Structure 1
């Protein structure tokens, strides 16, 4: 009995907090970009689906209307995931209509013509399977917005906090889909428990990652109304030269945080200077310095192996060095050395 109550508490807790976060994000999204509304709606429809699962599992005599609403909510999970991850949606605000309205119309018509009360078999074998298939299709469509983040991980580049958030949301929704898709082989309550687990894992992940960046929402303008004056630019520029003079970038673990400590500048100001004044991200700028160092070594050194040369230029691995060098110069290190050997 106690284990059953604990199971109910854990599964219902995720749904409840999902509703709370949905409202919270919707309110805060008023000052954010348009796509963030769909993040709020994604949590809402997921929570509706989870509530239905929880109460149906513990009360099979649940009203059929409530079951129909819970199942119908699933048809919007995929589109809301896609729209919350889609870049540049702010400039294409009407594009969401084709991803939402047709599905709402179809599920409404099906609900009227084939109510769950009278057509349980049709829902169980046809409509629900179609909804899960549509959900999967949108997960696959959304992958293209996640793929660049996965590539960054493969290159051992650090992700922005907003990228960590998006990747977590994507993987969480995919995991919940998998939990429901495998219900015939597991238990009906697994989907609800998965939602609770994923929700709290994402929240904890973000709470314990201190950052000056926005976590839950992507700001339209990161440094809006905080323009850097000329004197501050001059001071930071002078200090920034130390990175090149001391070749601090040769440390493979050299980061924005390390640079701010070395130069005695706040991470926020240093990031703003690099982004606004130099027009680059900090990681890309450091990569450029390392490539220039590698080019000098390739021209002058004969006894280096290409792998050791990459390490001596500040790269953490051979693959990272080769990939970055080819992308920047259009040549492999060996081709560059052959073309520029003295």
Structure 2
């Protein structure tokens, strides 16, 4: 029993430490991490309440009320954190936080837990878990692009893995609380596993060469491209098409920036914010345009050879990209053109 308590409590304690870590990072201008820090904080408060209540049924009702009330902010902070990586629009975070703080303060004042346990367990707690569930569902839209990458067998960024881990960790914690009453020993073990996993990921990713990890949202903050810059980049991008630079094997953003004599930062911002796509998707579109021209003019070449001539490294990659962009297979496109 002591062994179980130790590992259960350790999960909550490590959650507090991670919360502090990301709060410090947030002070270093990685503002998105404020949401992550607060998410881990309220999760840790809730889990700590469960662990201590399970091993000490005489736990203060005031502490129980704080632990249960913390759940009201888990869903909103999950939503705000994931959305912060998917939108360049300034977040109206107060609309997702203050109303719930006000509601819980009023309920806590007029219906304190120690005097209204039945009300809390029958109504208030169910309402909190429902709200948590709703936010978990609407947060799903912000990780759908990652599922799309998995479906299309694209390589995931380290940030993709991290965001998936956060989302499913919070979702499984909600599931553990709602599927059975007083499952604190399960939640304690879950918290230890989840937080330990995050710590391992954190150290692996911090020591990697991908310097933009945890900072991908902030790199464009307060640096909107002016009209002259946008026009200049649009003009320079024509160089990639005219010189068919996209036919180079593994043509990268770094290479493109050097060829166009612009900074990698500016080029990336233009492609992401103005064109609304990733650099790799942009290059694939250029390749497909090349393939379409070949399909419209060359009859004696095999489809596979046309794919290689368009800059694709394999037949399967060519077919997948062509179908995704045009909605047709290369053969269907060629037949339709020569009808």
Of 48, 51, 68, 1:51 maps to 48
Deviation digits for residues 232-270 of structure 1 (CA, Å, limit 9, x no counterpart): xxxxxxxx99xx789663xxxx596xx99xx9xxxx999
Aligned equivalents of 2:33 and 2:68: distance in 1?
24
Shift of 1:22: 1.1
| 1:287 matched to 2:256 | no
| 1:195 matched to 2:191 | yes
Of 166, 171, 192, 1:169 maps to 166
Aligned with 1:189: secondary structure? Answer: helix
Change (3 A) 1:290 1:7: farther
Shift of 1:180: 1.2
In structure 2, the partner of 1:218 is: 216
In structure 2, the partner of 1:207 is: 203
Change (3 A) 1:291 1:73: same
Which one is further off, 285-294 or 174-183? 285-294
Shift of 1:92: 2.8
Aligned equivalents of 2:80 and 2:245: distance in 1?
46
Of 95, 100, 112, 1:98 maps to 95
Aligned equivalents of 1:341 and 1:274: distance in 2?
41
Aligned equivalents of 1:317 and 1:187: distance in 2?
52
Change (3 A) 1:246 1:76: closer
- Counterpart mapping for 1:1-342 below 5 A: 4-87=1-84, 91-93=89-91, 95-184=92-181, 187-209=183-205, 210-221=208-219, 249=249, 276-277=266-267, 280=271, 281-288=278-285, 290-292=287-289, 294-295=291-292, 298=295, 299-301=297-299, 304=302, 314=312, 318=316, 321-322=318-319, 324-329=321-326, 332-341=329-338
Shift of 1:154: 1.0
Aligned equivalents of 1:123 and 1:98: distance in 2?
24
Is the 2:32–2:217 contact (alpha carbons within 8 Å) kept by the matching residues of 1? no
Shift of 1:36: 2.6
Change (3 A) 1:51 1:316: farther
TM-score by length of 1: 0.75
In structure 2, the partner of 1:228 is: none
Aligned with 1:141: secondary structure? Answer: helix
Aligned equivalents of 2:11 and 2:315: distance in 1?
41
Aligned with 1:211: secondary structure? Answer: coil
In structure 2, the partner of 1:229 is: none
Change (3 A) 1:334 1:246: closer
**Aligned residues between the structures:** 310
Aligned equivalents of 2:116 and 2:108: distance in 1?
10
Change (3 A) 1:302 1:71: farther
Aligned equivalents of 2:57 and 2:299: distance in 1?
75
Is the 1:35–1:90 contact (alpha carbons within 8 Å) kept by the matching residues of 2? no
TM-score by length of 2: 0.76
Is the 1:32–1:217 contact (alpha carbons within 8 Å) kept by the matching residues of 2? no
Which consecutive unaligned segments of at least 5 residues does structure 1 have? 226-239
Aligned equivalents of 2:196 and 2:129: distance in 1?
24
Deviation digits for residues 124-146 of structure 1 (CA, Å, limit 9, x no counterpart): 12111111111000000101111
Aligned equivalents of 2:140 and 2:217: distance in 1?
22
Shift of 1:121: 1.5
Is the 1:11–1:193 contact (alpha carbons within 8 Å) kept by the matching residues of 2? yes
Shift of 1:120: 1.3
Shift of 1:63: 0.6
Aligned equivalents of 1:316 and 1:191: distance in 2?
47
Aligned equivalents of 2:35 and 2:298: distance in 1?
55
Change (3 A) 1:223 1:113: closer
